[in-house]
């Protein structure tokens, strides 16, 4: 995909940027952790002991991780759907300096969200901060629980080629799934996993600030 440019201007290859939502676009760790623990209690499972144990589950796909711990994922999803309408989404704030970056990326490229969160929650939060105008599509857990499948489907739906598709994530699990999907992996250190932890997943890019996304 290319944009036609006026004479004298460089032709720009249109890329696809797929963003994880929580930790990358918004700072939602407190709310997300609280919601997960409430759902676990609702279905009779013990909550995570502390934040470190919670973050460790994101070394892989979140839903595979809780299934491996003996959680009935269908029951968890049912509890999550019931909880979603009553959560206080005002506790979630946009990541600082992200909006002007999204604005610039949107001018030349296609942006979408691929997340383990629900479309309902994502749309509520995006609308609250008027960020919905930046993203062409949202593939949450309603589509499928696998980010590998969602990444591939997003590239297909948005007419992108895999080597010009970038998945922007903040956990080791994000990077692992994006690698398996065959796209370029962008790990960001302002989210849930540290830069040192993300580096072990061998991402194609490791970024410390939203502005660095403009250099890709």
- Pick 16-27+95-215's CATH classification: 3.30.70.260, 3.40.50.1000, 3.20.20.70, 2.60.40.420: 3.40.50.1000
User: Does residue 8 have a pLDDT over 50?
Assistant: no
Place of tokens 């999907």: 181
Pairing of strands 26-27, 93-94: antiparallel
Dist. CA 154–CA 131, nearest whole Å: 19
Confirm if 26 and 191 have CB atoms less than 8 A apart. Answer: no
Burial class (CB in 10 A: 0-12, 13-18, 19+), 173: buried
Element (H, E) at 160: none
pLDDT tens-place string over residues 33-66: 999 999 999 999 999 999 999 999 999 999 999 9
CA dist list (Å): 71 to 66, 77, 131, 172 = 6, 10, 33, 21
CA 143 to chain centre: 14
Supply 114's token pair: 């691929």
Confirm if 180 and 202 have CB atoms less than 8 A apart. Answer: no
Confirm if 187 and 24 have CB atoms less than 8 A apart. Answer: no
Phi/psi region, residue 39 (left: phi>0; alpha: psi -120 to 50; beta: rest), is alpha
Band of pLDDT at residue 1, cut at 50, 70 and 90: very low
User: Does residue 20 have a pLDDT over 70?
Assistant: yes
Band of pLDDT at residue 204, cut at 50, 70 and 90: very high
- 60 or 2, which is more confident? 60
At residue 12, the pLDDT reads 54
At residue 181, the pLDDT reads 97
Dist. CA 87–CA 11, nearest whole Å: 45
Confirm if 115 and 21 have CB atoms less than 8 A apart. Answer: yes
Mean pLDDT of 24-36: 98
Strand ranges inside 63-163, DSSP E: 93-94, 110-114, 137-139
């Amino acid at each position: 995909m290319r944009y036609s440019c006026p004479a004298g201007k460089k032709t720009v290859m249109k890329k696809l940027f797929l963003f994880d939502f929580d930790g990358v676009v918004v700072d939602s760790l407190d709310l997300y952790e609280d919601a997960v623990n409430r759902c676990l209690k609702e279905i009779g499972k013990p909550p995570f002991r502390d934040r470190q144990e919670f973050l460790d589950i994101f070394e892989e796909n979140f839903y595979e991780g809780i299934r491996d711990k003996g959680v009935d994922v269908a029951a968890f999803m049912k509890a999550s759907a019931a909880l979603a309408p009553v959560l206080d989404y005002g506790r979630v704030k946009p990541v600082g300096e992200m909006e002007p970056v999204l604005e610039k990326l949107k001018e030349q490229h296609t942006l979408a969200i691929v997340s383990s969160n629900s479309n309902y929650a994502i749309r509520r939060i995006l609308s609250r901060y008027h960020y919905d105008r930046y993203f062409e599509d949202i593939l949450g857990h309603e589509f499928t629980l696998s980010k590998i499948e969602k990444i591939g489907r997003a590239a297909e739906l948005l007419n992108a080629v895999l080597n010009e598709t970038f998945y922007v994530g903040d956990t080791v699990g994000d990077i692992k799934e994006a690698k398996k999907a065959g796209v370029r992996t962008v790990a960001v250190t302002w989210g849930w996993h540290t830069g040192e932890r993300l580096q072990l997943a061998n991402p194609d890019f490791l970024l410390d600030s939203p502005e660095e996304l403009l250099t890709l």
